[in-house]
């Protein structure tokens, strides 16, 4: 009995001392598509409670797609981000609020200057609670703007990380990123939506 109790204490101590193990058990995933994944990455990185944002592809059937393949618009995949977060620090609802604040929910053809099915906006839920919150948040946007929302809500499927040069692009290529974002009219359209 004393041996079992001692082993149990050692396991608890190891878990408490190893923050990675504990955090790994608490963290959840959220997946969003909002046009260019560089821009979505920039909006979610640095949010308290978000430990990782990965740019990638999801929603299609092609295994291990490349940027060129997804860009063709023929794979069924969208550019997306996978957010790893601690729900004790940031709620899924807060992540949804960030998402809606950074997309044009009415554009059924893509986002901003990026057009095509690979740039459509979407929420990919990982469980029933995320689905419920996503659907409620979409209804709230519809009611607020009194307009039909084109953003799709689908169950999460396989997420394929994009090539390394796409990860943290807004940090690695600051000037090119800012030029792209400005030239795409993203901030101008978002400001227009936020003022309504």
- What is the rounded CA–CA span in Å between residue 4 and residue 32? 45
pLDDT tier at 25, thresholds 50, 70, 90: low
Taking only the tens place, the pLDDT of each residue in 79-95 is 999 999 999 999 999 99
* Cα atoms found within 13 Å of the Cα of residue 168, Cβ hemisphere only: 5
Please tell me whether residue 195 adopts helix, strand or coil conformation: coil
Please determine, for residue 175, whether its predicted confidence score (pLDDT) is greater than 70.
Answer: yes
**Mean of the pLDDT values across residues 31-40?**
98
The pLDDT of 10-27, averaged and rounded, is 50
Q: Is 113 a catalytic residue?
A: no
Confidence of residue 13 (pLDDT cuts 50, 70, 90): very low
Spatial CA neighbour of 73 closest among 86, 62, 87: 62
- Residue-wise pLDDT tens digits, 55-82: 999 999 999 999 999 999 999 999 999 9
How many angstroms from the chain centroid is the CA of residue 65?
18
- Where is 31: in which H helix or E strand? strand 28-34
CB 190 within 8 A of CB 102: yes
Q: Which ranges constitute the DSSP H helices of the chain?
A: 2-17, 19-26, 37-44, 67-71, 92-100, 128-145, 169-172, 174-183, 186-194
* Average pLDDT taken over every residue of the chain: 91
Q: Is the pTM of this model over 0.85?
A: yes
Element spanning 52, H or E: strand 50-58
Catalytic hit among 16, 36, 39, 184: 36
Q: What is the mean pLDDT of residues 121-133?
A: 98
What DSSP line would sit under 104-130, residue for residue?
-TT-TTEETTEESGGG-EEEEESSHHH
Q: What is the pLDDT of residue 15?
A: 43
- pLDDT above 70: residue 96: yes
What domains does the chain contain, in order, with CATH numbers?
26-194 (3.30.1060.10)
d(C-alpha 196, C-alpha 105), whole Å: 13
**CA-based Rg of the chain, rounded to a whole angstrom?**
19
Q: How confident is residue 126, by pLDDT bands cut at 50, 70 and 90?
A: very high
CB contact set of 139 (below 8 Å; sequence gap of 6+): none
pLDDT per residue over 143-164, tens digit each? 999 999 999 999 999 999 999 9
């Amino acid at each position: 009995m004393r041996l079992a109790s001692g082993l149990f204490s050692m396991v608890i101590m190891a878990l408490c001392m190893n923050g990675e193990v504990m955090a790994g058990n608490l963290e959840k995933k959220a997946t969003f598509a909002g046009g260019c994944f560089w821009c979505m990455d920039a909006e979610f990185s640095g949010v308290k409670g978000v430990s990782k944002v990965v740019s990638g592809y999801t929603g299609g059937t092609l295994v291990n797609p490349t940027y060129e393949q997804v860009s063709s618009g023929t794979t069924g995949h969208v550019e997306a981000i996978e957010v790893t977060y601690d729900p004790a620090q940031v709620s899924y609802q807060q992540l949804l609020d960030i998402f809606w604040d950074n997309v044009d929910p009415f554009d059924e053809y893509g986002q901003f200057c990026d057009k095509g099915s690979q740039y459509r906006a979407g929420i990919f839920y990982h469980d029933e609670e995320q689905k419920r919150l996503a659907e409620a948040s979409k209804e709230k946007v519809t009611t607020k703007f009194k307009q039909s929302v084109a953003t799709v809500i689908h169950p999460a499927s396989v997420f394929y990380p994009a090539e390394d040069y796409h990860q943290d692009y807004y940090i690695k290529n600051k000037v090119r990123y800012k030029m792209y974002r400005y030239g795409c009219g993203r901030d101008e359209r978002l400001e227009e939506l936020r003022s309504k």
